[in-house]
Amino acid sequence: MKIRPKLLFIILPVLAGSLVLVGATAYTLATRAVTRIASDFLDFKAFEIRKYAESQWNLLLENNLVDRLDLVKAAQAGVASFAQTVTRKTTESVFALGPTGSLEFQTLPSWEPAPADPTTLQNLVEQEQMPGLFSLNVGGKERMAVAFDFAPFNWRVFVTEERAAFFADVENITLATLIIFAAAILLGSSLILFFVGKVTRPIVQVSRVMQKVIETGDLDIQAPVTFNDEVGHMSHTFNLMTKELNRAYSRIKTYALDAVLSQRRERKLRQVFQKFVPQEVIDRFIQNPESMLVGENRELSVLFSDIRSFTSISEAMKPDELVQSLNRYFDTMVELIYTRGGVIDKYIGDAIMAFFGAPVKHDNDAQQSLEAALDMVEALEIFNQGQRERGAPEFKIGIGINYGLVTVGNIGSERKMDYTVIGDMVNLASRLEGQTKPYHEQIIFSEFLQEKVGPSIPTRLLDCIAVKGKKKGVRIYTAGRNLSEMTLKAWKAHNQAMELYYQRRFEEALHLFTRVREVLGEQDYHTAEMIGRCQHYLAHPPAEDWNGVEVKTEK
């Protein structure tokens, strides 16, 4: 689209919008004023009729004639006659309804109720309170009305005017507003077209010169400078630019070549380093290299996974077979960790260290780390099936997970740096992985992770331990997937029994642990261990400062 229609499409809506705003405001104010005047006029007539009716009734009261039915009828006729004098136009009508919807009087003798009117009139009488100004349909015409109740005669009096007559002035205002709006748009569009054409003519000339330069490649062509304003300055600047382009052309080619080479080098670096560093880390380093030299404190999950008895496995396999098995194992486990949003920190021999929550943080990092551990346990079964088919030893793993505040960032020296996490919470995750063997579990995680995961995954409280080098105890848990209904109930009962145990209610805990063993079987290590502890403490009660923490002296 050319610039002139664009400018027209920009300016015209602004002009139209302004006119609409002004016209709508004037129209609204005028219609409100006219409607208010017409409504007040109806209210005034209703007031005069009410006042006259009250004067007639008061006259009967003063003379003790309210019991004279003929005089009351005469007073009602007088009110009807007065209402007739109040109406000034044939479009106006005053009528009164009795308690049953009967028509007591009307000021338009030509008005005949339509067949549907009895129901309409009855509905009007049955309303407890009438609104100020309302519309109704009587005599086959839509009317605007005000109404009042006159209790002495048991009347509801309606002062009405045909809707078309009531809003006649409003419709005239609407028509006048539309005519003025259309005339203003037509005049404004003509003026806009004239001035836009005059203003854009120099721009069109510059555009034609630019097109000619592109077609011919001749940078010596000059654009005419028509006006001494911003457009003229643009033409002059264009002429200066074309002079400089010849000198800059060779430099542009050099810069373009350098840019292409830099992009190729960047792609190669990405391909090399993304095998060792997460993609997000590479992106952040390229965008802001200085920021990657500064660590930050962040809450995240740390996972350690280790192959148990790896020395025995390596002694039973040839070196090349061992390497192939390890590569298959790492390919499987690393892919599962990446799928759950984790980052591989490092390989420590046959162990894997990973974390969830950096450099990109997610709301469910804690749960994803536990889900990854469960995925790894399930995948190990498939991996070991392949090992059995090859006649190779099966792998057994232990996984420890912790959640907490760590320091994350590029840590190391100027010659060698790693994007890693450090801190006491990392050490605890490593210690928990070491406890998987004595506790006969493949997965053990801390209470800090359990609090973040909540009830979304079934968990079992194993113990409260103080790992080597620590005095404060931490509750440790394991988790399961696809558990049977009986197992879930047994785990829940086990957790309840653990709470009783920590409350020194050993006899109740022993009873509950015994019931759990009946479900999980004699081979369940944890119920057997806790039954033994409860029996021991029932025979030899612990000291007063006992808190249930088991102190570990080995990693």
DSSP assignment string, 150-215: EGGGTEEEEEEEEHHHHTHHHHHHHHHHHHHHHHHHHHHHHHHHHHHHHHHHHHHHHHHHHHHHHH
* pLDDT tens figures, 476-525: 999 999 999 999 999 999 999 999 999 999 999 999 999 999 999 989 99
Dihedral sign for Cα atoms in the order 210, 211, 212, 214: positive
Q: Is 90 exceeded by the pLDDT of residue 404?
A: yes
CA atoms within 13 A on the CB side of 263: 6
**CATH code matching the domain that covers 3-170, chosen among 3.30.450.20, 3.60.40.10, 3.40.50.1220, 3.30.750.24:** 3.30.450.20
CA atoms within 13 A on the CB side of 10: 8
397-412 and 443-446 strand pairing: parallel
Matching residue, tokens 């940078």: 219
* Sheet strand arrangement including 155-162: 103-106, 92-97, 155-162, 141-150, 134-138
Nearest to 464 by CA among 524, 526, 536, 518: 526
Most confidently predicted of 33-47, 148-162, 248-262: 148-162
Q: Which are the contacts of 446, defined by CB distance < 8 A and separation ≥ 6?
A: 401, 402, 403, 404, 428, 429, 432, 474, 475, 476, 477
* pLDDT tens figures, 66-82: 888 888 888 888 888 88
- How far is residue 221's CA from residue 260's CA, in Å, rounded to a whole number? 32
Percent of the chain past pLDDT 90, that is, above it, reads 36
- 106, two tokens: 């009307």
- In this prediction, residues 24-37 reach a mean pLDDT of 75
Provide the whole-model pTM. Answer: 0.53
DSSP assignment string, 6-30: HHHHHHHHHHHHHHHHHHHHHHHHH
According to CATH, the topology of domain 298-480 is Alpha-Beta Plaits (3.30.70)
- How far is residue 275's CA from residue 402's CA, in Å, rounded to a whole number? 25
Nearest to 401 by CA among 439, 438, 374, 361: 374
* pLDDT tens figures, 229-250: 666 666 667 667 767 676 665 5
- How far is residue 53's CA from residue 80's CA, in Å, rounded to a whole number? 9
- State the pLDDT confidence band at 113, using cuts at 50, 70 and 90: low
Nearest to 440 by CA among 396, 390, 489: 396
- How far is residue 514's CA from residue 500's CA, in Å, rounded to a whole number? 13
Helices 230-273 and 168-216 pack at an angle, to 10 degrees, of 70
**Do 59 and 78 contact (CB within 8 A), yes or no?**
no
- How far is residue 42's CA from residue 309's CA, in Å, rounded to a whole number? 101
Q: What is the pLDDT of residue 446?
A: 96
Q: What is the pLDDT of residue 266?
A: 66
Q: Is 80 exceeded by the pLDDT of residue 412?
A: no
Q: What are phi and psi of 304, to 5 degrees?
A: -115, 135
Peptide bond into 359 cis (omega under 30): yes
